[in-house]
Amino acid sequence: MKIGAVFPQTEIGADVGAVRAFAQAAETLGFDHLVVYDHVLGADFSNRPERTGFYNYKDTFHEVFVLFGYLTGATQRLGLTTGVLVLPQRQTALVAKQAAEIDVLSKGRLRLGIGIGWNDVEFEALGEDFHSRGLRSEEQVRVLKLLWTRELVSFEGRWHKITDAGINPLPVQRPIPVWFGGGAEQVLQRIAKLGDGWFYPGYTKYPDDESRHRLELLHEFTRAEGRDPASIGIEKIVKALEPANELKKMRRAWQQVGATHFSASTMGLGLKTPDEHIAAIRQFKQNVTG
């Protein structure tokens, strides 16, 4: 089971030394990968009572591809994972190019987690349609995989047209693994058709009836696509500061239902400094694997 650490996007601040120190600490501690959340814009919801969101304009978010470009030089082994990139608010060919570049610079360490997003303010500002984002993301993934595996691509779909063109350099991984975030049934169907893995949503400590139902649906959809459910990875993110015995039981329980990745988030735990976040992932690693 791969053990990961979540980059504390909203709490790490803008100090480049802290950014580097956290990633290098995760690598030194033996974590397999770093998971980075994504947002381009934060909104002010105070004058929009009909809108709510997980984050607002006061929350820090480092841009994921630029951050990974920096971290490819600051780390040697650590996997770099978007968890998740809001794909349909971006131009697909540009994402293909950026992701391929990160994969080349990191020597094949990128895992691209994608989602459809919830913040319509971002879509508005980036000039993309919020309402078609789900279906459009399916076509985007198909286009990404073509651009990552062929020197020249010709494609005409509902939202994309490419005529005898391609990216250069191609990525090390052909294609780069694509994982999906979200919990709706449509997401599970997209994973079954197009995905390499699923970021299981929320911070549920143990698999419950709802978890088992979702996993069975995913397996059912995957078999219907002629694929082996065991080929689909599952990542479970938990809060880092659970007691050691609890964390070990949680890890075993999720592994028993098919989880392949188990990662620690330090956000929302009242930690005040980058050093405290590093101490928390150190304790998590010791508790889970010690």
pLDDT score at 224? 98
Q: Which amino acid is at 172?
A: V
Annotated domain spans of the chain: 2-289
- Environment class of 40 (CB within 10 Å of its CB; exposed 0-12, middle 13-18, buried 19+): middle
pLDDT score at 53? 76
- Please state, in angstroms and rounded to a whole number, the distance separating the CA atoms of residues 163 and 171: 20
Percent of the chain with pLDDT over 90: 95
pTM: 0.97
pLDDT score at 258? 96
Question: For 119-156, how does the pLDDT look when each residue is reduced to its tens digit (9 = 90+)?
Answer: 999 999 999 999 999 999 999 999 999 999 999 999 99
Q: What is the second-level CATH architecture of the domain 2-289?
A: Alpha-Beta Barrel (3.20)
Dmax over Cα atoms in the chain, in whole Å? 56
Question: Does pLDDT of 52 surpass 80?
Answer: no
Indicate the range of 19-23, 81-85, 200-204, 215-219 predicted with least confidence.
200-204
- Please state, in angstroms and rounded to a whole number, the distance separating the CA atoms of residues 88 and 133: 5
Interval 57-84 mean pLDDT = 97
Interval 185-204 mean pLDDT = 96
Annotate 189-239 with DSSP letters as a single string: HHHHHH-SEEEE-S--SS--HHHHHHHHHHHHHHHHTT--GGGSEEEEEEE
**Number of neighbouring beta carbons within 10 Å of residue 235:** 24
Question: Does pLDDT of 48 surpass 80?
Answer: no
pLDDT score at 54? 83
- Please state, in angstroms and rounded to a whole number, the distance separating the CA atoms of residues 10 and 264: 15
- Environment class of 248 (CB within 10 Å of its CB; exposed 0-12, middle 13-18, buried 19+): middle
pLDDT score at 51? 72
Percent of the chain with pLDDT over 70: 100
Nearest-CA neighbor of 81 among 105, 111, 116, 37? 111
| Residue at token pair 């919830």 | 118
pLDDT score at 47? 80
Question: Does pLDDT of 49 surpass 80?
Answer: no
Please give the residue that has the higher pLDDT: either 53 or 61.
61
Interval 207-227 mean pLDDT = 97
pLDDT score at 50? 75
Give the angle subtended at the CA of 247 by the CAs of 242 and 250, to the nearest 5°.
125
What's the half-sphere exposure (Cβ side, CA atoms, 13 Å) at 281? Answer: 32
